[in-house]
C-alpha cells in the first residue's frame, strides 16, 4: 500500500503540480503587490479615491458593504489587466519570435490520373474509377 502511494507522489504530474502551486503562490504575491502598490495609487491619483470600503448603506438595521464589493471588482479587473498586459502579451511576443515555422506536412492525397478524384498517396488503384495508378512520385 505504501509503495503505491510513493509511486503516486513521485509521478511527474504530481511533482509538476506541486511546483506550479508554489510558483503560482509566489507569482500571485508579485501581481498583488503590483496592483496594490502601483496601479491602485495611480487610479487614486486620477479618480481621487483609492478605497471604497467605507461606502455602505443600511436597510432595517442591516448594513450592506457595497464598497468592499467595488474594491474586489476593481482589484480583480486590475489584476486581470496586469497579468494580460505585463505577462501574456510580452510572453506571446517572445514565443512568436523564438518559434520557428515547422516544415509543411507532406500531402496525404493525390489526384487520380484518370478521373482526377483525390486518392491516398499510397493507393495503387483508384477507389472511384478503379483504374490502376502507379506509385506516387517521390
Domain ranges of the chain: 2-98, 106-138
pLDDT tens, 38-50?
A: 877 787 787 776 6
- Calculate mean pLDDT across residues 58-72: 86
pLDDT tens, 109-136?
A: 999 988 889 999 888 888 888 888 887 6
CA 125 to CA 128: how far, in whole Å? Answer: 9
CATH class for the region spanning 2-98: mainly alpha
CA 130 to CA 112: how far, in whole Å? Answer: 10
The answer to whether the pTM exceeds 0.75 is: no
The chain-wide mean pLDDT, for the chain, equals: 82
Amino acid at each position: 500500500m505504501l509503495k503505491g502511494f510513493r509511486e503516486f507522489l513521485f509521478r511527474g504530474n504530481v511533482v509538476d503540480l506541486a511546483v506550479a502551486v508554489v510558483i503560482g503562490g509566489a507569482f500571485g504575491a508579485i501581481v498583488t503587490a503590483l496592483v496594490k502598490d502601483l496601479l491602485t495609487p495611480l487610479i487614486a491619483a486620477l479618480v481621487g479615491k483609492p478605497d471604497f470600503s467605507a461606502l455602505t448603506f443600511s436597510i432595517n438595521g442591516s448594513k450592506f458593504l457595497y464598497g468592499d464589493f467595488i474594491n474586489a471588482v476593481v482589484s480583480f479587473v486590475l489584476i486581470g489587466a496586469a497579468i494580460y498586459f505585463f505577462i501574456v502579451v510580452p510572453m506571446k511576443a517572445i514565443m512568436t519570435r523564438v518559434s520557428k515555422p515547422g516544415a509543411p506536412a507532406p500531402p496525404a492525397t493525390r489526384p487520380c490520373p484518370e478521373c482526377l478524384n483525390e486518392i491516398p498517396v499510397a493507393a495503387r488503384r483508384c477507389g472511384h474509377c478503379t483504374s490502376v495508378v502507379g506509385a506516387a512520385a517521390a
